[in-house]
């Protein structure tokens, strides 16, 4: 994201010497992120954990109860499996948004060969706006995700990075 900000608005305060280094940083991170995404999807399919992550019909039906709890309109959180419907909504939307970012990013990178796709997005300027809006979506949902984890139980923030949550000890 940091490199994308510089590419979008190149100012010296962001620390890059030139545009080429920012672009190389962006391409490196994109390929690493694509590899990690493919590895996670593969792992999810092989272990059948993908069902715990992707939003399903039951989760959509449970979203109103989830929102009532997190907007302090209900005292008790509705029961859920490993992830609640809100987490699954974010995870599923991130998967779709990341795919969109990858496609639009590759088009922006090589408009010479992929320029024939520009009319599908309403032209180059619209494609840039859409790419930027999805970036803002990632920033906003990441902040919401961290806030919700911290507001419920700070130990859940650790689980975001490690995948494991400390168990509460019972006296």
User: Are residues 62 and 74 in contact, defined by beta-carbon separation less than 8 angstroms?
Assistant: no
User: Are residues 34 and 18 in contact, defined by beta-carbon separation less than 8 angstroms?
Assistant: no
Whole-angstrom distance, CA of residue 143 vs CA of residue 140: 5
User: Out of 22-26, 28-32, 54-58, 158-162, which region has the weakest mean confidence (pLDDT)?
Assistant: 158-162
pLDDT one-digit tens code per residue, 94-108: 999 999 999 999 898
Share the mean pLDDT of the chain: 84
For residue 35, the model assigns a pLDDT of: 93
For residue 1, the model assigns a pLDDT of: 59
Query: Above 80 in pLDDT, residue 6?
Result: no
> What Cα–Cα distance (Å) separates residue 168 from each residue in 89, 153, 156?
27, 11, 12
For residue 87, the model assigns a pLDDT of: 86
Rounded to two decimals, the pTM is 0.78
Report domain extents, the chain: 49-162
Band of pLDDT at residue 93, cut at 50, 70 and 90: very high
For residue 19, the model assigns a pLDDT of: 78
pLDDT one-digit tens code per residue, 49-90: 888 889 999 999 999 998 898 888 888 888 888 888 988 999
For residue 51, the model assigns a pLDDT of: 87
Query: Above 80 in pLDDT, residue 127?
Result: yes
Q: What angle do CA 19, 142, 164 make, to 5 degrees?
A: 115
């Amino acid at each position: 994201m940091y490199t994308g900000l510089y590419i979008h608005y190149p100012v010296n305060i962001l620390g890059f010497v030139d545009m080429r280094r920012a672009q190389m940083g962006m391409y490196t991170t994109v390929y690493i992120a694509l590899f990690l995404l493919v590895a996670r999807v593969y792992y999810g399919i092989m272990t059948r954990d993908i069902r715990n992550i992707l939003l399903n019909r039951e989760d959509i039906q449970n979203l109103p109860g989830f929102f009532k709890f997190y907007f302090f309109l209900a005292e008790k959180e509705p029961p859920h499996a490993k992830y609640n419907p809100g987490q699954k909504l974010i995870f599923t939307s991130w998967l779709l948004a990341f795919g969109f970012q990858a496609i639009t990013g590759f088009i922006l990178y090589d408009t010479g060969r992929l320029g024939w796709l520009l009319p599908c997005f309403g032209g180059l300027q619209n494609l840039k706006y859409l790419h930027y809006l999805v970036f803002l979506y990632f920033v906003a949902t990441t902040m919401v995700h961290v806030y919700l984890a911290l507001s419920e139980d700070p130990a859940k923030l650790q689980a975001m990075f490690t995948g494991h949550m400390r168990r509460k000890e019972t006296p």
